[in-house]
Amino acid sequence: MRKIVILFFPMLFLGACSKPETNPELKDPIYQDIVTQMGLTEKSISEMEKKLETHHGELKKVVPQTGQIKYVEKRIWETQKTLDQLKQQQKYWIIRKDQRRDLVRQKSIEAFNKGEKWSDPAEYEAYLTEKRLRLAKIDWDTKERRANFMKESGLQTKGDQKPSSAPASGH
């Protein structure tokens, strides 16, 4: 009995060695967000494909010489254009996901070899800032910006001025 315990005792220590994580990207919030964005893009692609099929069905039902064909063809063209853009975006997310996975694995192994735990909250904050800017409204309305500025600074515009209670004296 002692011989069996003596033979298996060193194996317990060998099995308890720490190993680098096999899939560290699953704990990376940036990788998870990229995967989520890719899923949303794939969902949008399937919706656009259904919409395109619906428009093609409408094209077959168009009455000749009524002018409806122009509108249906325009909807088909716009939907196809959006679908092409979504497919390009899907390719982008696939490439970005693969690059992030490789980067996380490399950084994780480097940190493991140094005896540290890999985590970079500053990188995640920078990613969130970049994402917020990427999704921000690009079209600026000057009237809206001016109104926001006036509101924040406490100034009034001509349209916001209240008429005085006393009428102006004049001839």
Domain ranges across the chain: 19-132
- pLDDT tens-digit series, residues 38-60: 999 999 999 999 999 999 999 99
> pLDDT tens across 61-115, in order?
998 888 889 999 999 999 999 999 999 999 999 999 999 999 999 999 999 998 8
Cα-to-chain-centroid distance, residue 42: 12
Alpha-helix residue ranges (DSSP H) falling in the chain = 2-15, 29-61, 68-114, 121-135, 142-153
Among 35, 134, 45, 49, residue whose Cα is nearest residue 93: 35
Among 9-23, 89-103, 146-160, the least confident range: 9-23
pLDDT tier for residue 155 given thresholds of 50, 70 and 90: confident
Please report the pLDDT score of residue 74 as a whole number. 94
Residues in the chain: 171
Compute CA 161 distance to the chain's CA centroid, rounded to the nearest angstrom.
Answer: 43
Q: How much is the CA Rg of the chain, to the nearest whole Å?
A: 31
